Amino acid sequence: MGLFDKLKQFGDDKLNKQKEEGNLFLQENAKEPGVITLPGNIQYQILQPGTGRSPSVQSTIKAHYKGSLLSGAEFDNSFKRGQPFVAPISNLIRGWQQVLPLMQEGSTWKIWIPSDLAYGDRGAGGSIPGGATLVFEIELIEIVS
């Protein structure tokens, strides 16, 4: 086995370990009170119910969020920046596209997204490894359009 093959094998092992850890976590997390599992193994828990409208996939929303890995390592946090983001739901990762239309304005949910509905095998930037299951706390502030 050459150096390239060894490096590829190491990368594949690391990726498979990330996915396995995510799958095991989601299996156990599904047993927690208040955790709801959707198709595709996305899970959510309502932290604060909302009373406003629910967006569609075609909506543009204004929201705050905190994103982290299962280890708790935070990779982004709009709450800390004090600046919510505005984006069309259709431009977001597939897991968000499935969850946001279920939320109401004013609600805050914790969601767990398996890698295939997040950044997949590639990961994102230097802080989200390939195969990672992601954890988000999302506050849906309003539907902009």
Kindly state the average pLDDT of the residues 28-35: 97
Q: What is the DSSP string of 119-135?
A: TTTT-BTTTB-TT--EE
Statement: residue 7 has pLDDT above 90: no
Least confident of 6-15, 35-44, 103-112, 119-128: 6-15
CB 79 within 8 A of CB 66: yes
Confidence grade of residue 123 (pLDDT, cut at 50, 70, 90): very high
Map out the domains of the chain with their CATH numbers: 3-143 (3.10.50.40)
Distance from C-alpha of 121 to C-alpha of 75, rounded to nearest angstrom? 17
CB 58 within 8 A of CB 143: no
Confidence grade of residue 11 (pLDDT, cut at 50, 70, 90): low
Close Cβ partners of 6 (under 8 Å, ≥ 6 residues apart): none
Beta bridge partners of 79: none
For residue 125, what pLDDT is reported? 84
Tracing tokens 């009170």 back to the chain, one arrives at: 33
For the segment 60-87, what is each residue's pLDDT rounded down to a tens digit?
A: 999 999 999 999 999 999 999 999 999 9
Distance from C-alpha of 114 to C-alpha of 132, rounded to nearest angstrom? 7
Statement: residue 2 has pLDDT above 90: no
